[in-house]
Amino acid sequence: MSVLVRYGNSAELTISLDEHQLIGVCGGELHRSLNATPEPSSPFIDIDASAFAEAIQAALDQPLEFPDLSQTVVAGDHVTIVVETNVPRAGDIVAAVAERLIAGGVVPEAVTVLHADGFATAPIRVRASAELVGAGAQSPSSKAGASTVTLRTELHDPTDRGKLSFLANTRSGRPVYLNRLVTDADMVVSIGQHLGPETWTYRGVFGGIYPTFSDTETQQRYRNAHLIDTDDEAFAKSQQEIELVGWQCGLQATVRVVPGPNGKAAIVAGETRAVTRRATEIWNAAWQCRFEERADLVVAALSGQANQTWQQVGRALAAALAVVEEGGAIALCTELAEPPGKAMEALQKIEDRDTAVAEIRKARPLDAFPALLLDRAQRRACVYLLSNLEPSVVEELGMARIEHADEVERLAQRRRSCVILCHAQNAAPSLA
């Protein structure tokens, strides 16, 4: 049986194995035939296609358990559109949401886009009736009586205490600080990706608000090593805190992009809980898979140019750890070129691994979780890496370097059994 594995921006490789060697595939073309029952019709659309813009409008036309956004605001309201990190077609979604709000009577200058990753590299322009557009902010439109306006955008800075506001205390007595644009808004609409059940990288709809738009101290607190494992009591308590803050800040409406395979996605809009339920259904059908046994080798491929990061390497390692045998191997297929962060540097430079891990747990740098997962994986299995990193970097991190893509197939053929995780940053394998 041959499996096509895509990785990086547009690279691919083929792995041909005997049927007794291949336990299964998660997230690829063979995923549904081997591991899951598909929905009657796929909700996924090519992200780069014009049809995706139509899907955005369709989702806003029929929001789940929520009125049309134009009916939720009145003249004089101030609205903040919160954009989480790494959202595909974020600018198009923001524009569509803003136009609905403006149609409801909100002055364009009262709509602010708050983001956390610098996505707004180009101005976001929206249509508005001429009488709503503030002086000096308009330009002629091709439609009579209408103008276009550029939305105000702001990049969140967790170190700027002047732009943070006290919201409330947590149940444990800690003060909650959020960006003032969230706490002072009459309405908040969030836009983000839905990435399945809550994990260390995805804390649900409200996780896109808190700690994402909180202060540096809070963000660092949420890099506690105990939060890697969802069955840890600390994880449950942190999730309760996130949800409480989400409700306290008044978040009711959200738009979620659910990633699908091969550059596709689905989009869902409406009330937060209703959207979470539907988005989870879509995500589970695409990414969950169960295997009868662990594999001697797990091939985990990171697909998409935007996913070639250490953070996504951590997600791929977490997925691989769920199904790899003790003493087995993990082969990461990537085009990773991002330099190692402080936590990865600790693994490189501190000779004693236990000391390095202790330092990471204490300092909690931005890449703490991926580094801790790499250490966990290396204690269980041999980790191979296909990447665009310098060979010395790979070796200093204790990984075996794969020089050419065809070496992955040879590695798989030498192993007793194999599981393949296509789009491993989203794959959610488990044991039956």
Q: What pLDDT digit, counting tens, does each position of 298-329 carry?
A: 999 999 999 999 999 999 999 999 999 999 99
8 Å CB contact between 146 and 159 = no
- The 10s digit of each residue's pLDDT in 28-51 is 666 655 554 544 568 999 999 999
pLDDT score at 170 = 87
Which of 114, 289, 312, 307 has the alpha carbon at shortest distance from 200?
Answer: 312
The pLDDT assigned to 172 comes to: 85
Report the pLDDT value the prediction gives residue 136, as an integer from 0 to 100: 36
Positions in the chain whose pLDDT score sits under 50: 36, 38-39, 135-144
- Write out the residue limits of the CATH 3.40.50.11440 domain(s) in the chain: 67-251
Beta strands in 41-124 (DSSP E): 45-46, 79-83, 111-115
pTM beyond 0.95: the answer is no
Query: What local confidence, expressed as pLDDT, does residue 127 receive?
Result: 86
Residue 228 has what pLDDT?
Answer: 93
Given the candidates 1.20.59.20, 3.40.50.150, 3.40.50.11440, 3.40.50.450, the CATH classification of the domain at 67-251 is 3.40.50.11440
Residue 370, pLDDT score: 98
Residue 33 has what pLDDT?
Answer: 52
What residue spans in the chain does CATH classification 3.90.226.30 cover? 2-37+288-431
Cα–Cα distance measured from residue 285 to residue 277, given in angstroms and rounded to the nearest whole number: 13
| Interacting residues of 22 by C-beta distance below 8 A, sequence separation 6+ | 1, 3, 417, 418, 420
Q: In what order do the strands lie in the sheet with 187-193?
A: 45-46, 264-271, 253-259, 187-193, 79-83, 111-115, 152-155
Instruction: Supply the CATH classification number for the domain 2-37+288-431.
Output: 3.90.226.30
Picking from 285, 431, 309, the residue whose alpha carbon sits closest to that of residue 366 is 309
Distance, in Å, from the CA atom of 145 to the CA atom of 135, rounded to the nearest integer, reads 15
Distance between start and end Cα atoms, the chain:
23
